[in-house]
Structure 1
Amino acid sequence: MATVAGTMAAPTAEGVVWSWLTTVDHKRIGVLYGVTAFIFFLIGGVEALHVRAQLATPIGGVVEPELYGQLFSLPAGPMDV
């Protein structure tokens, strides 16, 4: 007669996230690299659209000039990579 071992606990969301963030598996690291690159691609695209929206009007009425100067330097990172 077979003996039944105890049931295994279901993996928690915290355990799954922690295992992905602390992995040394090269396949998981590649997936994380691709996801990170895609996220920065999206952020750079949104920032570029914001700059174009600001430049679309002659007065530049989307944000104030001081804030535009701060925001204009922000897209330099993701867009230049």
Structure 2
Amino acid sequence: MINTFVITTKYVIDNKSPVLTVYKDEDGDWQFFGGEIDILEEDASVVSLVEMLNLDPSLGNILWIGNGMKATRASISDEWVTHV
């Protein structure tokens, strides 16, 4: 899992926007998003899962979710809620 690459946005990486939504798609690929509404393809960033965990250690609490699931929270201080 250390060498796993994930998709996120420049808002999360550059602007330190808190991760509020995490998807693990049907293929097992991870996607981490902040609260931004209008995200364009050019806003995407590919980073390592380790880098995401360094930015937000609470993400480690949801790494158990299965393919096709997502986890959300209203703010960085809220608990993660998982969805099928």
TM-score (norm 1): 0.21
| Larger Cα-atom Rg | 1
Bigger relative CO (Cα 8 Å, ≥ 6 apart): 2
More strand by share: 2
